[in-house]
């Protein structure tokens, strides 16, 4: 009889995780997360930094918010985005350590 591994995450939970990781798997979204881990920003500020139109930036932010990665708050006429999922810092640290040639060099 084959050995059964114990204490593994359920496949249903891993399916949700995979979907959220697919949302992160985009260079602009990774940059947005990188920025938001440092401080909160408006859509316009993120759009400028990522060299994207504001409408496209908003769509990226909405996708990440639906996964629970981000939250926003309105102050006057500005909407600020910030990190809602603290584990994103660990994911980005892995990405930066593995792929950031500027930091490695």
Residue ranges of domains in the chain: 13-104
Mean pLDDT of the chain: 94
pLDDT at 28 over 80: yes
77: tokens are: 């006429």
- Give the separation between CA 98 and CA 105, rounded to whole angstroms: 12
CATH architecture of 13-104: Orthogonal Bundle (1.10)
Integer-rounded Cα radius of gyration of the chain: 16
Separation CA 48–CA 1 (nearest Å): 59
pLDDT tens digits for range 43-79: 999 999 999 999 999 999 999 999 999 999 999 999 9
Nearest Cα neighbor of 89 from 42, 23, 26, 24 is 24
Which pLDDT score is estimated for 93? 95
């Amino acid at each position: 009889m084959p050995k059964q591994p114990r204490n593994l995450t359920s496949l249903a939970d891993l399916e949700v995780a995979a979907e959220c990781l697919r949302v992160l798997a985009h260079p602009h979204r990774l940059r947005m997360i990188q920025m938001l881990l440092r401080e909160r920003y408006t859509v316009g500020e993120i759009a400028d930094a990522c060299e994207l139109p504001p409408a496209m930036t908003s769509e990226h932010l909405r996708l990440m918010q639906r996964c629970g990665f981000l939250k926003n708050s309105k102050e006057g006429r500005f909407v600020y985005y910030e990190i809602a999922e603290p584990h994103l810092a660990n994911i980005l640290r892995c990405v930066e350590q593995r792929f950031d040639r500027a930091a490695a060099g």
